[in-house]
Chain A
Amino acid sequence: MRRYAAIIAVGAAFILDTMVFGAFNRVGFRPEAMMAVVVSLAAFIGALPAAATGVVMGLLIDSLLNAGLGLNSIFMLIAALGGGALHNSQYGNNPMIAALIAALAMLVKEHIMLLVSVFTGRNIGHYVALLLRHILPSMLLTGGICALVHRILRATLFKVTWHSDVEN
């Protein structure tokens, strides 16, 4: 059951990131559904399987849509390690903590992207304006998606597994 829940969540995030959010990309900010799902999955199933899933999906997304191959995988790895800190902890069920970690992972991602942009000779304007108009909204949206995903996974599918775990 857990496996199916993870596959459905990852598939939905892939569709959102590559097909839905792409159509509204140039409003200036966009969330990362895959990052939100990876953080949530890491909290439930552990950092290692979530990181493996994230790296593979990151490579797939980069291969299909982005310049360079592997950058997204690094961000997913960071997200999985962050989410993995919640695994088997008393905060593991808390969607707000997971959302906070997803938002922080997004903050790290956007700053790495900013550095990559600068090092590749891009003119990116004022940092504060970028922070306020792009980075913070992207962070908040990713955190919001993570809270929602975490709540859904916990309420619908993972709760059942926990009960059987307790019975066993």
Chain B
Amino acid sequence: MRNGSFKKNLLISALIATVLLAALVIVTWNGRTATWFENVVGRVLTPVQSLAAKASNSISDFFRELFNTTDADLENERLRSELALYDRTRLELEELRLENERLRELMNYANALSMDEYVTAGVIGSSTDVWFDVFTLNAGSSQGVKLDMPVICAEGLIGRVTEVGATRCKVTAVIDPGVAVPVMIERTRDNCMVRGILDASSGGRYIELYYMLSDGADLVPGDVLITSGIGGVYPKGIKVGTVAEVMRGNGIKDVNAIITPSVDFNHIEEAMILTGDASGSGTGTERSPGQDAGFGWEPNGAGVD
């Protein structure tokens, strides 16, 4: 009898706890600033997590190199890195050229400013499930990080800041199925939107083009997508991905495409949080000492559509 009463009380308590926790989930779901308690926990655990992330990356690299030891493999790896560098430079130069042409035509671009205020941070954790793509970085509000700031790495756009603590922040990646990014096709300058897709049938994470291209739009595999700057969150000109497959339907706005992200989300170790104004009204070259890790990313600025 007593045992039955205990079980009944336990179930009622569990139900109440579940309702309270569900309410907590709803309240804390969207972008927020960490509480003082979370900041204290974060301050204690951030150094531990940083060390563990380094150890974890070392283990991961060890196994990768273990199966990647021939001269050809190493050479291949080196060439891939160089190619990525050249690709990035080419893209930047192409963007600069196109931008220059537009500026000549449109005088109101003359005062476009570069955005080169940033904070570099290490990735110290990632979400504990496969449904959401959230990374934790070891930089927070004490370094000037704020909600919705864009986060990039040498290969392109990673995502945006969705939670900020004193010494850490969480970044929701562009491959998260809940994230939509305004982009443009670099070649044709068509504007469209992309969002993440969890495609279990192929076992991979992709981005899907899903909005604003008409049926007759010129889109072919290999086209590069860059951020359009629309919406003011992401500055213009950051590489997002490359078109892998184009699917055409019969109706208007019926062009869909699978985009391969430019960033290898399995191997992000460092990231750069753009702390300037994404709309292009940044304050020029002002940087805090010790925050520049020399990524060499010099965006073409503007960000004006």
Contacts and interface: CB of A to CB of B under 8 A. Distances in A.
Interface of A: 15, 17-26, 28-30, 32, 47-48, 51, 55, 60-61, 63-74, 77, 81, 84, 113-114, 116-117, 120-126, 129-130, 132-134, 138
A17 B203 CA distance: 21
Given A67-B170, A70-B28, A123 B128 contact: no
A123 B196 contact: yes
A113 B131 contact: yes
Contact of A134 (B38, B195, B200): B200
Interface of B: 10-11, 14, 17-18, 21-22, 24-25, 28-29, 34, 38, 41-42, 45, 49, 52-53, 55-57, 59-60, 125-132, 134, 136, 162-163, 170, 172, 176-178, 195-201, 203-205, 208, 265-266
A123 B126 contact: no
A67 B172 contact: yes
Nearest to A124: B198
A18 B125 contact: yes
Contacts of A133: 200-201, 203
Q: Interface majority SS on B: helix, strand, loop or mixed?
A: mixed
B198 A69 contact: no
Nearest to B19: A74
A25 B170 CA distance: 16
Contacts of B134: 65-67
B159 to A, nearest CB: 12
Nearest 5 pairs of A and B residues by beta carbon = A122-B177, A129-B201, A70-B24, A19-B52, A70-B21
Contact of A32 (B57, B128, B136): B128
B166 to A, nearest CB: 13
B130 A22 contact: no
Contacts of B125: 18-19, 22, 64-65
